[in-house]
């Protein structure tokens, strides 16, 4: 019996030591003593996992709360900024409309506080019509923008463009007059002092003496035009007369500037250079107008194909090459041109023109000396063909005055009173440069038409709006050459003669006025002496054409038949 109890006691003892069958080895320490059973510690895997998850949740919640708070703070700040911006904008609008120095000048509020309608009217080619409508509504002085005023009061010609010495002169608006691609200002964009120097030098080339010496060369192109039109004068072919008139004026300009024509009349088509120049002119004008709205020029620049800007550079490079070739040939006393006179009077560096100034000025004269003259001739023919009685009277005057085509010269056309009246009236109705002539008031400010304008105010006259104003002309939309012949019907067509300045006014008026008049008189005379013209574009209306500084002319189709004698 004892042995059994001894074994049982041994088992109990061993069990008490923790090594019985109900104890796992993990519950005995390395000395063999039983470990005290306790709760799982925080360092155990299961407990550690749960604690980590709880901590992550707490940190995530805390971060979320912080982010929400930050977002709410940012939102509050954004709302504050937006509110501040709206308040500032509202204050600016109120100031601009009611407290600005120009506030008493009437004008459309939307135009005054935003450049959008102004820019849109330019991009759609409707600027001259918009400005005329605004003047009809608001009067002869209209505020077109926060800092811009337009005038149709004839007094504005003297106040803005007249002779003002020193600091009282109105400089050209730099927004619209940029230097050439070589960075040098030309005759149109130059400062008043530089313009006076350049103009004085070029004036020798446009003097009466110079024009007389150039007439034989110019007459060659008049006669070539008639020769090229004769095969087309069968009464059945409709030709775009505007193209042929432009061929003539561009060829003359090429000969006068570079000593060689563009060959347009010979080939019966535009020189590739001229074609690119005319096709891209509208895009370049839109690019310049984009300066009106901050940041828009960059966006507009992205929309203009790179080829257009490359062609603009090629146009300037072509001018430089043409000038270089002409200078290399030297002066030809039998073929005087513009550079003949520039070289003759260019010895004084202080009074002369640099080569860069010649390049930049000749670059703009290509278009300025050709497009405007051809536009006037096209407009004159359009007005005549729309008014048969006027056309008949002018034909009688021309055909009774000249016995031969060769009798039509610069001097012989000057006395034709009705011809001059017809041209004056077409210049009034369809001014070659119909848009604004932008200037800026001098730094000290100035009075214009009785209004005090602070320094830096943009001012301008729209030729089209001025010429179509009921305040300046009776029946302003009618073609009435007789209004320029008051001795025939005195007081029948009253008008303010001060309003009519088709070649601008003052020290910066058109230098080529005399040349343009001679070209227009002679070509109109030669066309009407040699041909009977008939309009073949019944729906063609001059005023429906867009304007981008100059008229964006459509085709004007006419048919020709030779005059029987």
pLDDT digits (tens, 9 = 90+) for 337-352: 999 999 888 877 677 8
- Give the pair of three-digit tokens for residue 273: 């250079």
Distance CA 481, CA 397 (A): 14
Q: Residue 12: enclosing H or E segment and its boundaries? A: helix 2-16
264 is in an annotated binding site: no
Handedness of CA 445, 447, 452, 453 (dihedral sign): negative
pLDDT of residue 505 exceeding 90: yes
Q: How far apart are CA 429 and CA 481, in angstroms?
A: 11
Give the whole-angstrom CA distance, residue 153 versus residue 212: 37
Look over the chain and give the mean of its residue pLDDT values, rounded to a whole number. Answer: 87
Cβ–Cβ contacts within 10 Å for residue 359, how many? Answer: 23
For range 82-99, the mean pLDDT:
88
Q: Indicate whether 30 pLDDT > 60.
A: no
Q: What pLDDT, on the 0 to 100 scale, is given for residue 48?
A: 57
Whole-prediction pTM: 0.84
Rounded to whole angstroms, how far apart are CA atoms 107 and 131? Answer: 11
**65, pLDDT greater than 80:** no
Residue spans of the domains in the chain: they are 73-103, 151-562
Pairing of strands 458-461, 148-151: parallel
Statement: residue 22 has pLDDT above 60: no
List, for residues 193-249, the tens digit of each pLDDT value: 899 999 999 999 999 999 999 999 999 999 999 999 999 999 899 999 999 999 999
So what's the pLDDT on residue 25?
44
Q: Which residues of 156-177 are buried (b: 16+ CB within 10 A; e: fewer)?
A: bbebbbeebeeeebbebbeebb
C-beta of residue 27 within 8 angstroms of C-beta of residue 34: yes
Among residues 269, 229, 506, 262, the alpha carbon closest in space to that of 381 is found at 229
Considering the chain, what percentage of its residues have pLDDT values greater than 90?
63
- Per-residue model confidence as pLDDT tens digits over 290-306: 777 777 767 766 666 77
The arithmetic mean of pLDDT across residues 9-17, rounded, is: 42
Residue with token string 């690119």: 276
What is the spatial distance between Cα 499 and Cα 428, in angstroms, rounded to a whole number? 9
Q: Are strands 546-548 and 550-552 parallel, antiparallel or unpaired?
A: antiparallel
CB 201 within 8 A of CB 345: yes
Distance of CA 426 to the CA centre of its chain: 24
Which of 445, 426, 450 lies closest to 551 in space, CA to CA? 426
- Written out in words, the top-level CATH class of the domain with range 151-562 is mainly alpha
The pLDDT score that the predictor gives to residue 3 is: 46
Helix (H, G, I), strand (E, B) or coil at 363: helix
Calculate mean pLDDT across residues 29-33: 44
Q: Quote the CA–CA distance of 565 and 560 in Å, as a whole number.
A: 16
Helix ranges (DSSP H) in 95-207: 109-113, 116-123, 127-138, 155-161, 192-203
323-348 mean pLDDT: 88
- For residues 35-52, give the mean pLDDT: 52
Per-residue pLDDT at 70 = 67
* Alpha-helical segments (H) within 205-295: 208-229, 241-258, 264-267, 272-289
**Nearest 5°: CA angle at 389, between 388 and 394?**
95
Least confidently predicted of 69-78, 104-113, 129-138, 153-162: 69-78
Which of 8-22, 263-277, 294-308 shows the highest mean pLDDT? Answer: 263-277
- Angle, helices 272-289/116-123, rounded to nearest 10 degrees: 170
- Lowest pLDDT segment from 58-67, 121-130, 209-218, 267-276: 58-67
- Write the pLDDT tens digit of every residue in 521-543: 999 999 999 999 999 988 889 99
H/E stretch holding 65: helix 45-94
């Amino acid at each position: 019996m004892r042995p059994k109890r001894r074994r049982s006691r041994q088992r109990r003892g061993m069990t008490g030591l923790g090594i019985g069958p109900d104890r796992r080895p993990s519950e005995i320490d390395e000395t063999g003593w039983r470990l005290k059973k306790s709760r799982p510690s925080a360092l155990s895997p299961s407990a550690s996992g749960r604690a980590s998850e709880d901590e992550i949740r707490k940190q995530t919640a805390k971060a979320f709360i912080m982010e929400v708070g930050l977002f709410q703070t940012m939102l509050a700040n954004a709302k504050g900024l937006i509110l501040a911006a709206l308040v500032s904008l509202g204050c600016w609008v109120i100031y601009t409309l009611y407290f600005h120095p120009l506030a008493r000048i009437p004008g459309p509020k939307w135009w005054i506080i935003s450049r959008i309608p102004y820019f849109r009217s330019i991009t759609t080619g409707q600027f001259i019509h918009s400005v005329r409508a605004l003047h009809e509504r608001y009067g002869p002085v209209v505020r077109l923008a926060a800092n811009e005023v337009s005038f149709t009061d004839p007094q504005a010609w003297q106040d803005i463009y007249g002779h003002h010495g020193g600091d009282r002169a109105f400089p050209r608006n730099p927004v619209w007059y940029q230097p050439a691609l070589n960075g040098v200002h030309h005759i149109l964009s130059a400062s008043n002092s530089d313009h006076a120097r350049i103009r004085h030098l070029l004036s020798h080339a446009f003097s009466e003496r110079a024009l007389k010496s150039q007439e034989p060369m110019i007459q060659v192109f008049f006669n070539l035009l008639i020769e090229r039109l004769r095969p087309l004068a069968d009464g059945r072919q409709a030709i775009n007369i505007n193209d042929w008139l432009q061929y003539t004026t561009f060829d003359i300009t090429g000969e006068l500037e570079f000593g060689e024509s563009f060959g347009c009349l010979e080939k019966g088509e535009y020189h590739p250079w001229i074609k690119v120049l005319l096709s891209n002119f509208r895009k370049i004008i839109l690019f310049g107008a984009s300066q009106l709205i901050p940041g828009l020029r960059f966006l507009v620049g992205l929309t203009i194909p790179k080829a257009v800007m490359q062609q603009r550079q090629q146009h300037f490079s072509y001018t430089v090459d043409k000038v270089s070739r002409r200078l290399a040939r030297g002066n030809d006393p039998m073929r005087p041109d513009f550079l003949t006179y520039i070289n003759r009077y260019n010895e004084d560096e202080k009074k002369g023109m640099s080569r860069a100034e010649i390049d930049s000025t000749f670059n703009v004269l290509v278009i300025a000396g050709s497009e405007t003259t051809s536009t006037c001739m096209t407009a004159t023919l359009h007005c005549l063909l729309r008014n048969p009685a006027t056309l008949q009277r002018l034909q009688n005057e021309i055909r009774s005055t000249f016995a031969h085509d060769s009798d039509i010269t610069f001097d012989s056309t000057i006395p034709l009173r009705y011809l001059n009246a017809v041209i004056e009236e077409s210049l009034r109705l369809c001014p070659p440069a119909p848009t604004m002539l932008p200037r800026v008031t001098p730094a000290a400010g100035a009075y214009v038409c009785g209004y005090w304008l602070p320094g830096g105010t943009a001012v301008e006259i729209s030729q089209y709006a001025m010429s179509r104003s009921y305040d300046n002309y009776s029946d302003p939309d009618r073609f009435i050459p007789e209004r320029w012949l008051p001795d025939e019907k005195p007081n029948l067509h009253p008008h303010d003669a001060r309003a009519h300045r088709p070649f601008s006014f003052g020290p910066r008026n058109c230098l080529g006025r005399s040349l343009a008049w001679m070209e227009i008189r002679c070509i109109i005379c030669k066309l009407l002496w040699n041909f009977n013209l008939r309009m073949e574009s019944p729906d063609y209306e001059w005023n429906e054409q867009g304007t981008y500084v100059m008229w964006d002319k459509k085709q004007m189709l006419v048919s020709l038949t030779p005059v029987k004698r």
